[in-house]
């Protein structure tokens, strides 16, 4: 498995950071057909060839994805899109 780990710091309160993670999941669902659900404080993501989570910490939001073999060649492109989406959402909040 190829892994993507993206972390960005934030200064939001915890509830606000959870809403940002929720917004990121909705964007990924809309644009890339991800399924997602909350398991406690972690947001689980899944679609064909990718599984992962969004982790909300007191000063950081992390996106961790594992890519299946067929998507490994697209790792950098997928990582770039995750970074772009997360940074856009953080900039709006």
Q: What is the pTM of this model?
A: 0.91
**Whole-angstrom distance, CA of residue 77 vs CA of residue 58:** 28
Are residues 36 and 28 in contact, defined by beta-carbon separation less than 8 angstroms? yes
φ, ψ (nearest 5 deg) of residue 49 = 85, -5
21 is written with which tokens? 């993670």
Instruction: Write down all domains in the chain, each with its CATH number in brackets.
Output: 2-92 (3.30.310.50)
**Whole-angstrom distance, CA of residue 85 vs CA of residue 91:** 10
At 5-55, the pLDDT tens digits run 999 999 999 999 999 999 999 999 999 999 999 998 899 999 999 999 999
Are residues 26 and 38 in contact, defined by beta-carbon separation less than 8 angstroms? no
């Amino acid at each position: 498995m190829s892994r993507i780990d993206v972390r960005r710091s934030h200064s939001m309160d915890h509830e606000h950071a959870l809403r940002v993670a929720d917004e990121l999941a909705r964007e990924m669902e809309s644009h890339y057909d991800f399924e997602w659900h909350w398991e406690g404080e972690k947001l689980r993501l899944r679609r064909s060839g990718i599984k992962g989570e969004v982790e909300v910490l007191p000063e950081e939001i992390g996106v961790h994805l594992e890519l299946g073999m067929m998507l490994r060649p697209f790792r950098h492109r997928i990582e770039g899109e995750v970074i772009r989406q997360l940074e856009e959402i953080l900039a709006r909040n």
